[in-house]
Structure 1
């Protein structure tokens, strides 16, 4: 069974986001071993300069990279990534399994995005679109789309 991780910076705080993730996590249990790995945000002042932002990206990047094995298939969620359909995501998940990978990671960075090092090791770069979403919402949307992808692959009734 495929292990699917969402590796992300920051913790969900609001109960409604936590509840949404719990629901989709429960549903995903029929298809994969699903987990969310929450990593600490680097603390900074409200208006960091470029040097401080570079430091944040580097430190958060190290934290993210410590959770990824070289044998994992890793998807970096980033604005310059490819915008794909739910069906395309389903096919990507299927292809990862067919290729014999046992773990698939989706990585969501912090407020300043992902470090270049994380993007370099990613097998795929994916974007949720040209709009900007709060990270908590993006996490829920991604979890739902992963569930939808498995439903599409299994010809489930969820996807219409």
Structure 2
């Protein structure tokens, strides 16, 4: 399986970069993972809704340009469907059985995702009703993808 993580912004903290590196290493036996980062636009001061929409549009345009061809696109969205780890593993397994071996997960920036990006998504996935920092969400997603592959293969997760 080929998986692209399409993310707004860079990981700034060392501990997040180390966590990402660790999960990418753990995932090598299961899938080819590529992390693609697009520029995070500066958010305007609170209350300037028109300017926030402009930021979302600009980030959205960059994201849409970077979606790999023939990808099943999964946008991370607080309003999306919530799955258990087992359901998520089953979902990924079902996609592979249907021949869908190219996935693209999209993680927006501080303002979220543009409507055009959400409309392009084949699925909107939520990990919680909570709001998480988008940089941390990348690590949570990688961990859940890793856990899903362990579940699919019937392997122990904790070691």
**TM norm structure 2:** 0.94
The residue number in structure 2 matching 1:24 is 23
The residue number in structure 1 matching 2:149 is 150
The residue number in structure 2 matching 1:91 is 90
Distance 2:47 2:62 in 1: 20
Offset at 1:45? 3.2
What's the C-alpha RMSD, in Å, of the aligned pairs? 1.5
Offset at 1:159? 6.0
The residue number in structure 2 matching 1:54 is 53
Alignment of 1:79-158 (within 5 A): 79-158=78-157
Distance 1:103 1:77 in 2: 17
Offset at 1:48? 5.7
Q: Which secondary structure does the structure 2 equivalent of 1:43 belong to? A: coil
Structure 1, 101-110 or 139-148: larger mean CA deviation: 101-110
Structure 1, 42-51 or 82-91: larger mean CA deviation: 42-51
**Shift in alpha-carbon separation, 1:48–1:35, aligned structure 2, 3 A:** farther
What whole-Å deviation, never above 9, does each CA across 1:85-106 have from its counterpart, x for those lacking one? Answer: 1111111111221121231011
Alignment of 1:69-80 (within 5 A): 69-80=68-79
Q: Which secondary structure does the structure 2 equivalent of 1:38 belong to? A: strand
What whole-Å deviation, never above 9, does each CA across 1:31-50 have from its counterpart, x for those lacking one? Answer: 00012111101124333611
Q: Which secondary structure does the structure 1 equivalent of 2:78 belong to? A: strand
Q: Which secondary structure does the structure 1 equivalent of 2:66 belong to? A: coil
Offset at 1:122? 0.7
Pair 1:34-2:57 in alignment: no
Question: How many residues in Structure 1 have an aligned counterpart in Structure 2?
Answer: 159
**TM norm structure 1:** 0.94
Offset at 1:16? 0.6
**Runs of 5+ consecutive residues of structure 2 not aligned to the other structure:** none
Distance 1:114 1:55 in 2: 12
Q: Which secondary structure does the structure 2 equivalent of 1:11 belong to? A: coil
